[in-house]
Every structure is written in C-alpha cells, then in structure tokens.
Amino acid sequence: MNNQQWTESTGMLEPPILTVAHQFPFEWWADTAENIWITALEGGSNHWIDYIHTKGKDLKVGKQILQNFPVTIHHGSDGWDYSDTVHTLNGEVAHGASLRIIEKGIHMLDSWHIISSVMQGDIDAEIADQIIQRGLFGELVYG
C-alpha cells in the first residue's frame, strides 16, 4: 500500500507512530555505553573530537560510565596553536555527562534499523558517532 492508498482507505495522511519502551538492566547499559564510547573514540568520532577531559574517569569502562561523570569535549579545531609559552587548541568546547550523552543519543536515533542494531549490541563506528553527536549536540554536526 502506498501513501495515496493509505490516505484514501484510512483518511489519515501517514501511518500512525508506534512507540516501544523497554527498560534494560544495568549490565546492558554498562556494556552498551562502553561499546559506544570505545567505538567512537577509536574510529567513529576521531575525525572531529580533538581532546576529551574526564577528570581521571575512563570512558572505556562501562561501570565508570554509569556514574554519569562530567565530560568536556574539545572539537572542530584545525589543530594546535603554538606560541613560545602556550600550546592551545583552537575550536569549540562542549560539555555533557558520560551516560547522559549515550542515553540522549540513542533516544534521538531516527531509524528503527539503527535502534534495533544498538539493542542487539551491533554498534559500528558510524552508529557510535551518530549517538555521540546527537547526545552531545542534539543533532549531527559533523559528517
């Protein structure tokens, strides 16, 4: 059935939206958050992330990520600016929390296929990058 047939037979312009809610256990969140951060840091997001500051916490350990610690991400620079006394990174700074970035990013995914992949633990670099960007910025900023 195409959109025109749908509209003619139901009187609705589009099919209704189906919302599914499921509460995953802490272990799933720890494993999934760890998987997303590792995949993003080792390939998915390294084209736009310049530096991450976590005050000593580890984004590659799921149980630490669940503590929802502050994360400062320097991004979008063309590199380091060097002077005789100071080395600075030009670009922008974004702030978030380790687990909240993941949670928000997953909620903002716009494809059931991608959401299903995340639920099954099948997270590639592109998916990890989408989750981090959406969770941090509220949208995809970097291609």
Q: pTM here? A: 0.80
With beta carbons less than 8 A apart as the criterion, state whether 31 and 121 touch: yes
User: What gap in Å lies between CA 44 and CA 39, rounded to an integer?
Assistant: 6
pLDDT at 108: 93
Is residue 19 a part of any domain in this protein?
A: no
Q: pLDDT tens digit string along 38-80?
A: 999 998 898 899 889 999 999 999 999 999 999 999 998 766 5
Is residue 56 a part of any domain in this protein?
A: yes
Is residue 74 a part of any domain in this protein?
A: yes
Quote the domain boundaries for residue 41.
30-135
Q: pLDDT tens digit string along 69-119?
A: 999 999 987 665 545 554 455 678 999 999 999 999 999 998 888 989 999
User: What gap in Å lies between CA 4 and CA 7, rounded to an integer?
Assistant: 5
**Residue 89 to residues 27, 58, 92, 138, Cα–Cα distance (Å):** 36, 22, 9, 23
Is residue 59 a part of any domain in this protein?
A: yes
With beta carbons less than 8 A apart as the criterion, state whether 109 and 134 touch: yes
pLDDT at 81: 55
User: What's the structural domain count of the chain?
Assistant: 1
Band the pLDDT of 143: cuts 50, 70, 90.
confident
pLDDT at 67: 95
Is residue 10 a part of any domain in this protein?
A: no
Is residue 142 a part of any domain in this protein?
A: no
- Give residue for tokens 């189906």: 18
With beta carbons less than 8 A apart as the criterion, state whether 105 and 118 touch: no
pLDDT at 110: 86
pLDDT at 37 over 90: yes
With beta carbons less than 8 A apart as the criterion, state whether 93 and 49 touch: no
pLDDT at 48: 92
Is residue 5 a part of any domain in this protein?
A: no
Is residue 18 a part of any domain in this protein?
A: no
pLDDT at 76: 83
With beta carbons less than 8 A apart as the criterion, state whether 139 and 110 touch: no
Burial class of residue 74 (count of CB atoms within 10 Å of its CB; 0-12, 13-18, 19+): middle
